[in-house]
Structure 1
Amino acid sequence: MARMVDLNARIIESLYIEGLMLSDEVRAAFDLTPGAANDTRNDGDTARIAFSCEALRTTTRMMHSVAWLINHRAYFRQEISEFQLRRYGRISPSLPDAAPDRLALLPPAVQELIRATERFYARLVRLDAGWRDRAPRTGETSAIQRLRERLVHAVG
């Protein structure tokens, strides 16, 4: 099994730029202003509803992604502590993916964009899980480890 690379400022910055670019593509794809390239008003009610539902789901996914990345950027810029990041910088592992029946009603380019946001979000979920599971930095002991050590000394 490959060793997970620990998060660092360069990785977060790269993901942040990728996330902003993807968010901009999502905004353009789901633009509902009159005359927009993806205007679905003539595609029937079912397609419009599917478009609206997936627009909401996709933009929510990207908002969560960018928020997670902003928290990590703040941590690496020493604007928040690791405690604050661990407490408030979680990413939800349970955001739902696009509904296949609705996805089929959308143009192929929009379908691919939605899948790209799902892949991006899944990467962030894996990174977050790996970061949270990692051992404390060298020289640091967790509160649980310190408690265990005190118990061992008290008992034995």
Structure 2
Amino acid sequence: MQVQQELDRRKSMKNKHSQYFSGKYALSGITVCGDCGNAYRRVHWKNRGTVWRCKSRVDKREHNCSGRTIYEKDLHEAIIKAINETVVDREDFLQQLSENINSVLTDGLTGRLEELDSKLKELESEIISLAIGGQGYDELASKILALRGE
């Protein structure tokens, strides 16, 4: 059952360019071209060693990308440098990470939350006026259910 769950998880990682998760190399699927958004692929050149190239450059039929070729050694050095900077500036990193997570979680919700707050204030004033008058609860209940999407 766990194997099936892992296979389903990997299938769900499909991106806009119809590429699937690959666990063969540590950087597969997470190294992305800044030019076209395709994933980078690991390619071994006999005369120059191992490099990472944009998928659209590797597949000759889609050669419309100007993403550069990255030597694997340089890529590893950049990752090690980033990890070391993260360890040294841990507090700054954690603060930035927290801000990024909050930004992603609230992205597009701020306007919706303000809209819901204003509707709630309107309904609250209606409840108060209906409670004073002692009538119209059914109409108010239907408005609340409509607001909730029920």
TM-score for the superposition, normalised by structure 2: 0.23
User: Higher strand share goes to which structure?
Assistant: 2
Higher relative contact order (CA 8 A, sep 6+): 1
User: Higher helix share goes to which structure?
Assistant: 1
Give the greater-gyration-radius structure (CA). Answer: 2
